[in-house]
Structure 1
Amino acid sequence: MGLSLAIATAFLVTLTLMPVIIRVFRSIDLLDRPDKRKIHSVSTPSLGGIAIFAGLLMALLLSVSLQELATEKYFIGGMILIFLLGVRDDLSSLLAQHKLVVQIFSAFLVVFLGDIKIGGLNGLFGVSHFPWVFDEIFTIFVIVVMTNAFNLIDGIDGLAGCIALVISSYLGWAFIQSGHYVDATFAFALAGSSIGFLLYNWHPSKVFMGDTGSMLFGFMLTSLLVKFLAFSGQAETLVSPVAISLALFVLPVYDTLRVVLIRLFTGRPPLAPDRNHIHHVLLKMGLNHAQSTLWLVGYNILIVALVTSFQQIGELWLMLIMTLMTVTIGAALDRKLMRREAARLAKIIPPEIKMSKSHTSV
Structure 2
Amino acid sequence: MSIIISIIAAFIVTFILLPIIIKVSRSVDLLDAPDRRKIHRVSTPALGGIGIFVGFMVAVFMAVPLAELATLKFFLFGLIIIFFMGIRDDISSLMAKHKLLAQVFAAFLVVYFSDIRLTGFYGMFGIGEMPEWFSIPFTIFVLVGLTNSFNLIDGIDGLAGTIGILILSFFGWVFLTGGYYAYSVLCLSVVGSLFAFLLYNWNPSRVFMGDTGSMILGFIISSLAILFINVAPGMTLGYFEITSSVSVCIAALILPIFDTVRVFTIRFSNGKNPLDPDRNHLHHGLLKLGLNHAQATIFLGLFNLLILSMALLLDPYLGNGSLMLIITAMCVGVTMTLGYKLKRKGHLGKITPVATKSSDLYISKSA
Q: How much has 1:342 moved relative to structure 2?
A: 6.5
1:341 paired with 2:335, answer no
Question: d(CA) in 2 for partners of 1:45 and 1:136?
Answer: 37
Q: How much has 1:233 moved relative to structure 2?
A: 2.6
TM-score (norm 1): 0.92
Quote the residue 1:261 is aligned against: 265
**Which SS does the other structure have where 1:233 is aligned?**
coil
The answer to whether the Cα contact below 8 Å between 1:107 and 1:144 also exists between their aligned partners in 2 is yes
Question: d(CA) in 2 for partners of 1:177 and 1:31?
Answer: 42
1:329 paired with 2:334, answer yes
The answer to whether the Cα contact below 8 Å between 1:111 and 1:136 also exists between their aligned partners in 2 is yes
Deviation string 1:194-216 (CA, Å, 9 cap, x unpaired) is 11111110000010000000000
Greater relative contact order (CA < 8 Å, ≥ 6 in sequence): 2
Residue 246 of structure 1 aligns with an amino acid whose one-letter code is I
Deviation string 1:123-167 (CA, Å, 9 cap, x unpaired) is 222333322122111111110000000000000000000000000
The answer to whether the Cα contact below 8 Å between 2:288 and 2:347 also exists between their aligned partners in 1 is no
Question: d(CA) in 2 for partners of 1:133 and 1:232?
Answer: 24
Quote the residue 2:34 is aligned against: 34
Residue 267 of structure 1 aligns with an amino acid whose one-letter code is G
Deviation string 1:286-329 (CA, Å, 9 cap, x unpaired) is 11100100100000001111111111222212111111111111
TM-score (norm 2): 0.91
1 or 2, which has the higher helix percentage?
A: 1
Question: d(CA) in 2 for partners of 1:181 and 1:285?
Answer: 43
1:17 paired with 2:17, answer yes
Deviation string 1:78-112 (CA, Å, 9 cap, x unpaired) is 00000001000000111111100000000000001
1:108 paired with 2:108, answer yes
Residue 281 of structure 2 aligns with an amino acid whose one-letter code is H
**Which SS does the other structure have where 1:41 is aligned?**
coil
Question: d(CA) in 1 for partners of 2:77 and 2:161?
Answer: 23
The answer to whether the Cα contact below 8 Å between 2:233 and 2:244 also exists between their aligned partners in 1 is no
Deviation string 1:203-244 (CA, Å, 9 cap, x unpaired) is 000100000000000001110111111111352422121111
1:249 paired with 2:233, answer no
Question: d(CA) in 2 for partners of 1:248 and 1:232?
Answer: 13
Residue 328 of structure 1 aligns with an amino acid whose one-letter code is G
For structure 2, the 5+ residue unaligned runs are 351-367
Q: 1:1-362 to 2 correspondence within 5 Å? A: 1-233=1-233, 235-236=235-236, 237-312=241-316, 313-341=318-346
Larger-Rg structure: 1
The answer to whether the Cα contact below 8 Å between 1:178 and 1:234 also exists between their aligned partners in 2 is no
Residue 76 of structure 2 aligns with an amino acid whose one-letter code is I
How has the CA–CA distance of structure 1 residues 342 and 281 changed in structure 2, closer, same or farther, with 3 Å as cutoff?
closer
Question: d(CA) in 1 for partners of 2:261 and 2:233?
Answer: 29
Question: d(CA) in 1 for partners of 2:25 and 2:269?
Answer: 40
Quote the residue 2:356 is aligned against: none
The answer to whether the Cα contact below 8 Å between 2:9 and 2:59 also exists between their aligned partners in 1 is yes
Q: How much has 1:68 moved relative to structure 2?
A: 1.5
**Which SS does the other structure have where 1:207 is aligned?**
coil
Quote the residue 1:352 is aligned against: none
Question: d(CA) in 2 for partners of 1:120 and 1:2?
Answer: 35
The answer to whether the Cα contact below 8 Å between 2:32 and 2:43 also exists between their aligned partners in 1 is yes
Cα RMSD after superposing both structures: 1.4
Residue 250 of structure 2 aligns with an amino acid whose one-letter code is L
What's the % identity of the aligned pairs? 50
